[in-house]
Amino acid sequence: MVEVLGTSWPVFIGITVMLMGFASGMTGQAVAKTWQPMWQIVPYAMLLGCADRFLTWGLFDGELLSLSGYVVDTLVLMAIGGLVYRLTLARNMVNQYPWMYERAGPLGWREKT
């Protein structure tokens, strides 16, 4: 699995999921709060994936130019950013338009009947 991630599991969990995942979540929240489209998370996640690879290499001697590691890191960051984006957008829709929408689960909303 080290060949795919370009680093060990503890480093992947610590750097990618926790540290950069937090940054990706905050990015998703910022994109949703400014009412921007979801696709804008993609370039931000790609940049965060580069920063993730750099931190993994610089701090833990991981592979800097691991293509598979970059792809896995970036996909995880896109997923976290997309999830937080959708959570924030659903909350914003219901809070900003309470006469029009109601919650339909944590990720969605529906028109009031």
Asked whether residue 20 carries a pLDDT value surpassing 80, the answer given is: yes
- Do the domain assignments include residue 93? no
Containing domain of residue 11, as a range? 2-86
pTM of the shown model:
0.92
Mean pLDDT of 55-61: 94
- Do the domain assignments include residue 95? no
Model confidence at 6, pLDDT cuts 50, 70, 90, reads confident
Q: What are the b/e assignments for 43-71, b being 16+ CB within 10 Å? A: ebbeebbeebbebbbeeeebbeebeebbe
- Do the domain assignments include residue 102? no
pLDDT of residue 77: 98
- Do the domain assignments include residue 100? no
Number of domains in the chain: 1
- Do the domain assignments include residue 38? yes
